[in-house]
Amino acid sequence: MVVYLRQFAACTALALALALTGGPAKADTPDYHVDVGDRLTISVYGKPEMSGNFQVRADGQIAMHLLGPIDVAGLTMRQVEERIETEARERFSSRESVVVDMLEYRDVFVLGAVDTPGAYEFRPGLTVMKAIAMAGGIERVQEDLRSERDIENARNNLAEAQSRLTFAQSERDALARELARLDGVTTEAQVPEARLDQEQEQLVGLRRSLMQDLMEGATMRSTLADEEAGMLDQRRELINERLDATQEQLESMQELEARGLARKEQTLGLKIDLSEYNADLLEVAAFVSRAKQTRANAESDIQEAQTEYRLNLLQDKIEAEQRVAQERTEVQMALNFLRRASPAAAAELGEAVETVYEVFRNGSDTPERVAPTALLGPEDVLNISFEAVMQ
């Protein structure tokens, strides 16, 4: 049922009138089951010492003089009378006449958008509207908060919050699409073109370009290191070839020197050449090791750039989601004020208001949506709220 607050005033007045017609609590509900917290009036004919007012204790019992504790939780009024008569007959072998009436029921609780939330005494026949009337009616905005200036400020706050919400949502969606792209998931086909914020896409594209530049630089270093290592491998092969040839010449020269056919200086020169080639091999090995380290560092930089890029996207997405939640709250607060202070202003924004009546039945964790004429029971919790209705 879509209502605005000024229309709801008439309903509240009617409910208040109905509530005022109620009388004291009476046991006029024969199917009502007594429970913990109820206060009973018990009259035993001719036995004033056993008569009086009794409250059902947490263990579901009442304590009567002479009879002691009696279990009554879950019984109807008539069953309580029969239980007491049975106890008296077993104890005293006498037939007693017992009348049980309800002195005070357990409370009902009214919460939400009412003027005075709290606990109220239950009466048989209590409806949602009567309970709202008992709680002072639907919550009203104070007159000094209903000025045109305050309403205009609320409109401005709402517009600003909606703008920030739109920006945060577009940022969150752009980051989510980029993360999906990194995971190899295509999301563009699932999002209408009209919803794609080109500015946010450009910002994400710029971040992606910076990351790709870093990766390209690292890839270039890795490629150059590979090329350098390849050239050094070729040089090492040449040095090894010369080293082998010099070794053979040295062995031949040493044989000739032993027969006196070669000079000692020639043998010494070959030994020096051999040492230089070995030194060149060590130098090449050092250069190869450095090239491999450069390549490993470049690959590490690539992995680090990718990981840092993803982590930054995730962090920014989480922050965007937090801003979305915050701005939604701001939007809702501004709308709630307008719905209460100026239903006409809310209507101009396409915000029709539905009054929602929810009841948590006697300890239940799940609310039940009910009509304004629905009956309530003891310990029921009634919550009143407003919801926007799509028009």
Residue 13 lies in a domain: no
pLDDT given at position 237: 92
Same domain? For 159 and 278 the reply is yes
**Amino acid letter, 226:** D
Same domain? For 174 and 233 the reply is yes
Count Cα atoms within 13 angstroms, Cβ side, for 214: 16
Same domain? For 262 and 333 the reply is yes
CATH of the domain at 90: 3.30.1950.10
* Contact yes or no for 388/355 (Cβ under 8 A): no
Residue 16 lies in a domain: no
pLDDT given at position 140: 62
Same domain? For 367 and 266 the reply is no
Of 338, 357, 380, which residue constitutes the final position of a domain? 338
CA distance 67 to 55: 15
CATH of the domain at 298: 1.10.287
- Rounded to a whole number of angstroms, the CA Rg of the chain reads 45
Q: Token pair for residue 107?
A: 């409370």
pLDDT in tens, the chain (391 residues): 333 333 344 344 444 434 433 444 444 456 788 899 889 999 999 888 889 999 999 999 999 988 889 999 999 999 999 999 998 888 887 788 999 998 988 899 999 888 899 999 898 889 999 999 999 887 765 444 456 777 788 888 888 988 898 888 888 988 888 888 888 876 544 444 444 577 788 888 888 888 888 888 888 988 898 888 889 889 889 999 988 998 998 888 888 888 888 788 888 888 898 899 889 889 988 988 998 899 889 888 888 888 888 899 999 999 999 999 999 898 888 877 776 666 666 666 655 567 889 999 877 889 999 999 999 988 899 998 877 654 4
pLDDT given at position 360: 94
Same domain? For 48 and 131 the reply is no
CA distance 239 to 280: 7
CA distance 4 to 346: 9
Residue 140 lies in a domain: yes
Q: What residues make up the domain containing 362?
A: 109-146+345-388
CA distance 262 to 257: 4
Q: Three-state DSSP class for 373?
A: coil
Same domain? For 264 and 304 the reply is yes
Q: Three-state DSSP class for 285?
A: helix
* Contact yes or no for 233/288 (Cβ under 8 A): yes
Same domain? For 211 and 263 the reply is yes
pLDDT given at position 325: 93
Same domain? For 126 and 62 the reply is no
Residue 7 lies in a domain: no
pLDDT given at position 7: 39
Residue 209 lies in a domain: yes
pLDDT given at position 25: 46
Same domain? For 332 and 375 the reply is no
Same domain? For 264 and 374 the reply is no
Same domain? For 263 and 312 the reply is yes
Helix axes of 148-182 and 264-341: crossing angle, nearest 10 degrees: 150
Residue 14 lies in a domain: no
Residue 50 lies in a domain: yes
Long-range contacts of 162-169 (CB under 8 A, 24+ apart): 162/327, 162/331, 164/323, 164/327, 164/330, 165/324, 165/327, 165/328, 165/330, 165/331, 168/320, 168/323, 168/324, 168/327, 169/320, 169/324
pLDDT given at position 72: 93
Residue 266 lies in a domain: yes
Distances (CA, A) of 378 to 101, 120, 125, 162, 349: 16, 10, 11, 43, 40
pLDDT given at position 123: 87
* Contact yes or no for 347/367 (Cβ under 8 A): no
| Number of residues that this document lists for the chain | 391
Same domain? For 185 and 317 the reply is yes
Structural domains of the chain, count: 3
